[in-house]
């Protein structure tokens, strides 16, 4: 049995999709995404968490600390997300040490049509050197929103959009235009501690042109590919153990895979 999602008000959104430790729910009709500073201060880290972080860094030199935003509450009915500044190391140890940090991130479900009109979705296989879900397939792009800006202040909707566009270039070598992006909901992984603001990215260029223009990618994904959306259910059934739980939850929330599967 999965844990309840502490970030979701029970009175809102009867259509939440739950799969394992992951909860996905859509924005309420007419709602937009907004961010505000939380009044609660983050809990201090303890020595046990610090030791665990040191162990993780020793085992994976690609890990590095930095400022992040921790999600403190969310209201799907209004799209309001309350955040407070925190540190990546406190988030990274969460699966084994209960720091309670939930990192604000963005996640794009990128789709495109080929010349035959077949809809495809972009997926990538995570590198073995990633912090969690190594070598599993996921929808890309996605990543944590950078922490406090030099000028101060919390991130805005424009910052979320800009970061998704950056992640698209880095993780998939594709260019995403703002007009192709639409906020559609939220995905909370209660095990890993990530909170993704979900966007649907509907590419306007033909898939053939997109493929030809794909550039250099970073190290976070060993492979990326375009999968026909109509094959998502078969992929989920045949490769269940090789797909990240958040992606399997997203597939179900979109109706690409039956919820009972």
In whole angstroms, give the CA distance from residue 133 to residue 244: 6
The per-residue pLDDT for 150 is 54
What superfamily would CATH give domain 17-253?
Answer: Nucleoside Triphosphate Pyrophosphohydrolase (3.90.79.10)
Q: Give, in degrees to the nearest 5, the angle at Cα 114 between 126 and 168.
A: 35
Per-residue confidence band for 4, with pLDDT thresholds at 50, 70 and 90: very low
pLDDT band at 8 (very low <50, low <70, confident <90, very high): low
Are 73 and 29 in contact, with CB atoms under 8 Å apart?
A: no
224, 123 contact by CB (below 8 A): yes
| Sign of the dihedral defined by the CA atoms of residues 180, 143, 250, 195, in that order | negative
Write down the pLDDT at residue 28. 86
**In DSSP terms, which residues pair with 84 in a beta bridge?**
70
Compute φ and ψ for 128, nearest 5 degrees.
Answer: -65, -15
Sequence-distant (≥ 6) Cβ neighbours of residue 178 within 8 angstroms? 161, 165
Does the structure show a pLDDT above 50 at 21? yes
- Predicted confidence (pLDDT) per residue in 187-198, tens digit: 999 998 999 999
Q: Which two tokens stand for residue 38?
A: 């939380």
Partners of 67 in the β-ladder: 87
Average pLDDT, the chain: 89
Task: Decide: 38 and 19 in contact? Cβ < 8 Å.
Answer: no
What distance in Å separates the CA atoms of residue 112 and residue 114, rounded to the nearest whole number? 7
Quote the CA–CA distance of 231 and 152 in Å, as a whole number. Answer: 45
Q: pLDDT class for 216, splitting at 50, 70, 90?
A: confident
* pLDDT band of 13, cuts 50, 70, 90: very low
- Give me the DSSP letters along the chain: -PPP-TTS-TTS-TT-EEETTEEEEEPPTT---EEEE-SSPPPPP-HHHHHHHHHHHHH-TT----EEEEEEEEETTTTEEEEEEEEHHHHHTTTTS-----EEEEEEEEEEE-TT--EEEEEEEEPTTSSSSTT-EEES-EEEPP-S-TT-----HHHHHHHHHHHHHHHH-----GGGEEEEEEEEETTTTEEEEEEEEE--S-HHHHHHH-----TTEEEEEEEEGGGHHHHHHHSGGGB-HHHHHHHHHTTSS-TT-
For 33-83, the pLDDT digits (tens) are 999 998 766 666 688 999 999 999 999 988 899 999 999 999 888 899 999
Reference 70, options 151, 162, 6, 4; nearest CA is: 6
């Amino acid at each position: 049995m999965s844990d309840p999602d502490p970030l979701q008000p029970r009175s809102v959104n009867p259509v939440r999709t739950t799969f394992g430790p992951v909860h996905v729910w859509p924005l309420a009709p007419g709602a937009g995404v907004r961010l505000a500073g939380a009044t609660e201060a983050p809990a201090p880290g303890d020595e046990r968490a610090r030791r665990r972080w040191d162990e993780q860094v020793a085992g994976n030199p690609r890990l590095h600390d930095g400022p992040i935003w921790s999600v403190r509450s969310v209201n799907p009915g209004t799209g309001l997300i309350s955040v407070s500044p925190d540190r990546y190391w406190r988030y990274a140890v969460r699966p084994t040490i209960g720091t309670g940090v939930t990192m604000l991130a963005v996640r794009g479900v990128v789709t495109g049509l080929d010349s035959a009109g077949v809809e495809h979705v972009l997926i990538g296989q995570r590198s073995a050197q990633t912090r969690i879900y190594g070598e599993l397939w996921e929808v890309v792009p996605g990543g944590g929103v950078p922490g406090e800006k030099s000028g101060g202040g919390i991130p805005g909707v424009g910052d979320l959009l800009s970061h998704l566009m950056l992640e698209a270039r880095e993780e998939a070598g594709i260019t995403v235009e703002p007009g192709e992006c639409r906020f559609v909901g939220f995905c909370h992984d209660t095990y890993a501690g990530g909170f993704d603001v979900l966007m649907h990215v509907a590419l306007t260029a033909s898939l053939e042109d997109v493929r030809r223009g794909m550039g250099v990618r970073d190290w976070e994904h060993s492979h990326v590919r375009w999968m026909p959306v109509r094959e998502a259910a078969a992929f989920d059934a045949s490769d269940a153990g090789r797909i990240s739980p958040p992606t399997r939850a997203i597939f179900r929330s979109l109706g690409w895979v039956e919820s009972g599967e």
